[in-house]
Structure 1
Amino acid sequence: MPPCLDNLSDNVLHCVLFHLADDIADLLHLSRANKRYNAAVLGADNAWKRAYELSYGSLEQLPIPVVATVTASSHHPAVPLEPQTWLGKYKDRLIEHGFKRRQLAAARLLKAQSTVQTLEQQVYRLAQTLRQEKQELKRLTDLLATLRAAIQSEEVHEAHTYWVPTAVTRAQGSLVVQAPQNALERKRELESKVAVGELECTKLEKMITAR
């Protein structure tokens, strides 16, 4: 027994020994907890390392920069990391890949918006063209109706001029058949006008069908 404990009573000695045993137990408990903590950290470290290698390949293939600074976006300040460890490199790579993915998503969104704008402009122009074509179709339809009415009126007029003398003479019961002067030429002229009118009608019908 140490000399400093010779003069102590048994009760005091028991108390001191009890506290020493309690402190030793606490130290042992802390030692075990520290070992468990180190084991947990090592396990997590190995898990992160395995995940990194599965995602990006072996760590030995990556250069170790002295300082790694990754800018997440123009609105956020630079984030300094610790690239000397594989975990720092993994975080660095994750942030960098996330930034690239956001850039690609923004570029795709901008391209889609530009495409939609272009399509809207094309639809607007096509709608204007369609309105103009409908107006032109209505105008051509009205013109065709006018030409047909004019042709019918001309046919009626020519028929009246050509056939009235003979019809009147027949209605009166006369044996003398009267006919207009130069009847053959008048007939040819009438047939020519009818043919021209039919060609005009056919042309207008084709234009309307094409539109």
Structure 2
Amino acid sequence: MLFSEYEPTGGRNFSRSGKKILEEENLWAEGTFKEDKLNGKGKKYYFDNGKLEAEGIFKNGELNGKGRKYDFKSSKLEAEGTFEEGELTNDRWNGYDDKGYLVSHGIVKYERGIRFERNYYKGILKSEGTYDGKVFKGKKYYDNGNLEVEGTLENDVLNGKGKEYYYNGMLKSEGTYENGELNGKGKVYHENGKLRSEGTFERDELIKGIIYTNDGRKSQVVDEKGKLDY
């Protein structure tokens, strides 16, 4: 249950400045309101604990412009930059750990309606590509800077055409993926770079194709009859 304390500013748009307070007396929001939502400069607080959630420029109750977001438990700064409808947008953003130290940052740009982002963690590039709110198309990197995956990802796993790499940078697998597993035509490699298997996969299991030894020699043929030695 909320009740409001306002100081009317007048004008035809009926904007009001003041505070919205929880029934338990925890401050919920303060700033300039229009139709009972933050519009303009203000602050928003977590409903459960009354701690500061966000501050900056708001539109219809969401950050829309320069702003900052804070962690629910620690109240430490979590992200800062330019927001649109509550999400970071065209700008450089910063991320902080629970001790308040800067650990990540990123750059987001929009070109012809396509969002391009590049994200870093402790100064190391972690991912780069395009993102439409559901599908990410691009590359992800290990903490040593080597490529980890590239292709189309949904929910942070490969879906569609893509490639996976070992920690040492050698190609691990390539082909068509579904929920992070090879599903369809594909190839898998030994860590030394030699081909390990190729053919048709189902949930990461080769169901039709050829298996190779780690020195590149053909070892087995897999078909509907099972595995047959060469």
Say yes or no: TM over 0.5. no
Q: Which has the higher helix share?
A: 1
Higher relative contact order (CA 8 A, sep 6+): 1
Q: Report the structure number with the largest CA radius of gyration.
A: 1
Q: Which has the higher strand share?
A: 2
